[in-house]
Structure 1
Amino acid sequence: MGDFNDIRASSERIGGFQVNAHCTRWFQDRINEARLTDLGSKGPSMTWRGPRAMNGSRLFKRLDRVLANSHFLNFFSESYVQVLPRTEFSDHNALLLCVGAQVNTMKPLKPFHFEVMWLGHDDFNRFINDSWSTQEVLETNLATLQQNIDKWHKSVFGFVEKKKTKLLARLKGIQNSKAYPFSFLCRLECQLQSELESLLRSEELKWF
């Protein structure tokens, strides 16, 4: 699973010069020799975007993929690959490997994650002090703090998560469109990428 830096056929590339049939055949032969199967993908067909050429055009390729052997396919028969939206932080789309249907309908418990952006908020230190009791043992304080900080994060930074989710959903729709990349969607994508970058790099929230 990852970037193989090769394509299997001319259909896995948009733009550029004529595809080298020898190279595509060589890559496909190596896959066949290893007895691997390409799982394909759902979402945008091209997973890599090249730099802009002198004439303004770009080269797109499907360089990222998941190859599996028969043992994997037998054990994870319902597995599939989802191509996630590409952002300006990388020239590749990320891949998400889903290994099967969700059997357990109960919502899994999420592990606690510390967010760096919390440190940039003016009320964070006061919030920590107010949530910590010197009368309680360490385990109780930590459990209480986790519950309180989850609520505080949603109330203070919830709008950021919602806006980021909305921008990523729009980018996914654009990159999955058959009219992309030869339409006005390219300009719209640049606009949305700029909005997403500004959101994540905001000095006020101090994500980094």
Structure 2
Amino acid sequence: MINSCKLLDLGSHGSPYTWNSRCHGGVDIRIKLDRTLANASWRTHFENAVVFIHLAVSSNHNPLLIDTDGGKSGGSQPFQFESMWLRHPKCKQIVSQAWSAPTVGPSTSTIICKSNRCKHALKCWNKVEFSNVQEKIKSLKSQLEKIQGLPPSDYNQNSESLISSLLEEELAKEEAL
């Protein structure tokens, strides 16, 4: 069917598996169940496209991400306000202090200056207040990615379950903050 439709497998980066039976005490089956296919026209239009197999945290399927830019970084990450900050009692104080500091100049540059000051204050506060949770999440995701790429075994299955549980706890902490 794939050949008759003239589709090409885009390949992938990451874990060699996209599905895990997660059978505890039984045979743990890991296979590459999911694939990304495209026709020649799409492939020519998106010649830099790459497919990444992401971590399966609470599922037995690993999500696939198609990046049409080829995984190239466009420089530094733009500022992103994190919703978890709103749940923290100090967030309003951080923004108020940064916004209320005096500025000189026309109103348009004042707004830009105040916005930049808030952005800087929030970035610094985030690093101090939340980096421990974020670093744990990053580390656990890295461990989970490695274990999900290994052949099935009781040890690997138990390790994956433990790491997944720890990751879910840290993600819940992050969500609660």
Q: Provide TM-score, normalisation by structure 2.
A: 0.80
1:188 Cα offset (Å): 0.8
The answer for the alignment partner of 1:115 in structure 2 is 82
Summarize deviations over 1:170-195 as a string: whole Å, max 9, x none.
11111111xx3223011111111111
Question: What value does the CA root-mean-square deviation take over the aligned residues?
Answer: 2.6
**Contact in 1 for aligned 2:95/2:121 (Cα 8 Å):** no
1:74-107 per-position Cα deviation (integer Å, ceiling 9, x unaligned): 344454322122112x3321223344374x8xx6
Aligned partner of 2:127 in structure 1 is: 154
Return the offset for 1:149.
0.8
- Counterpart check, 1:67 vs 2:37: yes
Aligned counterparts, 1:79-158, within 5 A? 79-88=49-58, 90-99=59-68, 100=70, 102=72, 108-133=75-100, 135-136=102-103, 137-158=110-131
Aligned length: 170
1:1-208 to structure 2, matched below 5 A, reads 29=1, 31-50=2-21, 52=23, 56-88=26-58, 90-99=59-68, 100=70, 102=72, 108-133=75-100, 135-136=102-103, 137-177=110-150, 180-202=151-173, 206=176
Q: CA deviation at 1:126?
A: 1.6
Q: Distance in 2 between matches of 1:101 and 1:162?
A: 22
Larger RCO, structures 1/2 (Cα 8 Å, 6+ apart):
2
The one-letter code matched in structure 2 to 1:161 is Q
Distance between the aligned counterparts of 2:114 and 2:32, measured in 1? 50
Distance 2:111 2:139 in 1: 39
| Structure with greater helix percent | 2
Moved more, 191-200 or 144-153: 144-153
- The amino acid of 2:36's aligned partner reads V
Deviates more, 1:158-167 or 1:191-200: 158-167
Structure 1 pair 101–163 and aligned structure 2 pair: CA distance change class (3 A): closer
Higher mean displacement: 32-41 or 116-125: 116-125
Are the structure 2 counterparts of residues 117 and 47 from structure 1 closer, same or farther at C-alpha, using a change threshold of 3 Å? same
Whether contact under 8 Å (1:37, 1:68) holds in the other structure is yes
Q: Secondary structure, in 3 states, of the residue corresponding to 1:174?
A: helix
SS of the aligned residue for 1:81 comes to: strand
Contact kept? 1:132, 1:145, Cα under 8 Å: yes
List gaps (5 residues or longer) in structure 1. Answer: 1-28
In 2, Cα distance between equivalents of 1:122 and 1:200: 19
Question: What is the CA-CA distance between 1:58 and the residue it aligns to?
Answer: 4.5
Cα distance in structure 2, aligned partners of 1:91 and 1:49: 5
